[in-house]
Amino acid sequence: MSQIRPIRRALLSVSDKTGIVEFATALHQRSVEILSTGGTAKLLEEAGIPVIEVASHTGQPEIMGGRVKTLHPKIHGGILGRRDVDQAVMEKQNIAPIDLVAVNLYPFAETVKKPGCSLEDAIENIDIGGPTMVRAAAKNHRDVTIIVNAHDYDRVLGELAEFDGVTDATRFDLAIAAFEHTAAYDGMIANYFGQRLNPEQPERFPRTLNFQLHKKQDLRYGENSHQQAAFYVDPSHSEASVSSSQQLQGKELSFNNIADTDAALECVKTFEAPACVIVKHANPCGVAVGATIQEAYTRAFKTDPTSAFGGIIAFNRPLDEATAHAIINQQFVEVIIAPGCSKKAQSIVAAKKNVRLLVTDEFAERRAQFDFKRVQGGLLVQDIDHGVVSESELKIVTDIKPDAKQLEDLMFAWKVAQYVKSNAIVYAKDGMTVGVGAGQMSRVYSAKVAILKAQDEGLTIAGSVMASDAFFPFRDGIDAAAEAGVKAIIQPGGSMRDDEVIAAANEQGIAMVFTGMRHFRH
C-alpha cells in the first residue's frame, strides 16, 4: 500500500533560485517550517517568508568561510533518521525530522567555462554540503522528499494539495533524479581534474571519462528486430542535431532512422549554398547544391533514384512548399529533416502521415566534441572529424592544373567523401554527385561501383572530378578514373607510391591535388 508522507519541516538551499520564492511561499501557506542557508535564506527573508537559519537550528555558526554549515548531526540526523526506527534516538539528541530537502549544487560547470578560471576558483566551487544532503535525503526517500530540479516544485505542491503529503512513487522517482544529479556533478568534476594531472599542460582526454546521457525514447527495436534499443541524448548538447530536433509528424523514429538522419544532417551542414543530402544505410547516395533547395533535391535525387527510395533527406535551408511537393510526388521517403519548415510545406508532407518530418534550430558554428566507437569491453574516443581544408591549402601535384570550375567541384566532392564509408570514392560534376562508391575493401572496387551506379542511372562520369577519402596506394585507381573520363582528382596524398600515382595522372592528362588530410569513416 502506498504511503503518504506529510511535510512539516523543509530545508531549502539552492544555487539555482528559479521558482524557489514561489515554492517557499506555498510551503509557508501550508504551515511548513522552513530552514535555509546563505543566499537562499536572504532571498526568502526579503520576500517576507519566515525562515530559520541553519546556524540557529543547529546552534553551530558557519565556519571556515561557509565551507562548514550543514554538516551537522541536527541536519543529517533530521534527514537520515528513520521515522519508525530512529525516533527515540532523535528525541534523545533533540533532532527534529526534516521531511523535504530542496537543494541544487554550486555551478561548477559554469565556473570552469569562464575564461581565466583558475584551479583555485574551480576548487572553491566544489559543493560538499549540498551533495551530502542530497544523497542523504535520496537514501532516506522512504521518509524524505528530495528536490534537485526546479521543475519538480509544482509536482510536489500538487501532491500536497491532493493528498496532504507526497506519495511513495514520487519520492522514489525524485530520489533517482537526485542520484542522477550528484552523479553528473561528480562526473564533471572528475573530468575537469582528470584533464589537469599536469597543471602546466592540460590534456584533451581525462584519466577517466564520465558523461551522462538522458533517455529520450525507447525504440521498437534496434538495428535488427531481435535487438532491444533506446535513444539517449546529451542534455548539454545545444548544436542543431538529430538529438535536439523536433518531430512535427510521422511514425516513431527507428534506430536506423536516427543513425541515418544523423549522417545526412551532419553532411548537409558542411555546405554554404542551398544543399540536399540523401542518405541510405548511413551513406550519402545523392548530394547536390543548387540555387534553391528544390533544385538541390532534384539534382541529388538524380544521382541514384534507386537507392534514394526509402531514404533520409536533409537540407540546410528550411523546407518550402515547392520542395515538399517535389519530394512527396516523386519518391517514398522515411525522414525529412531541415532547419525549419513552412506551414504550407508541413501541410503537404502531412498527406503522407507516416513520413517523419523533423526540424532543427538554425545551424551554428560547430564545436569541438568527442566521437565514440564501441568495442567489446571498451570505448574508442576521438575528436569528431570536423577537419576542413581550404582551396588555398590544396597542393597541386600534376603538370596540369585544375581550372576554377574543377576546383569548385573538387571541393564539393571532398566534402561529400568525408561522409561516405571507407573506402570512399565520389564522382561529381557541376555541384552534384554523379557516382558514389562506399565501403568496399578495395579502393579500386569503390571506384568501379560508383561508375556502375552512374551508368545504371544514365549519368556520365566523363568530365567529372573524383574525390578519394584516403590516398591511392597504387596507380590502378588513377588509370580506372582516366578510363571513365575523370578530369581532376582530389586525395590526401601520403602514399609511399605517390610519385607513381602522380606520374600516372600526368600520363593520363588528369589534374590532381593533395589535401594532406584524410577522412576515414568506418
Residues annotated as catalytic are 139, 281
Distance set, CA 415 to CA 17, 274, 409, 467 (Å): 46, 14, 10, 9
Torsion of CA 127, 130, 133, 138, to 10 degrees: -100
123-145 burial by CB neighbour count: b if 16+ within 10 A, else e? eebbbebbbbbbbbbbebbebbb
Tell me the DSSP string of 487-499.
Answer: -EEEE----TTHH
Give dist(CA 475, CA 461) in Å, integer: 19
- Burial (0-12, 13-18, 19+ Cβ within 10 Å), 395: exposed
Please count the other Cβ atoms lying within 10 Å of the Cβ belonging to residue 212.
15
CA 444 to CA 433: how far, in whole Å? 18
Q: Which residues contact 146 (CB under 8 A, 6 or more apart)?
A: 100, 101, 102, 103, 134, 137, 138, 171, 174, 175, 178
Q: What is the DSSP letter of 13?
A: E
Cell numbers found for residue 130: 549540498
Contact between residue 8 and residue 144 where contact means Cβ atoms under 8 Å apart: no
How far is residue 248's CA from residue 466's CA, in Å, rounded to a whole number? Answer: 38
CA distances 400 to 255, 465, 483, 502, Å, are 47, 14, 17, 11
How far from the centroid of its chain's Cα atoms is residue 320's Cα? 26
Core vs surface per residue 410-420: b (16+ CB within 10 A) or e? bbbbbbbbbbb
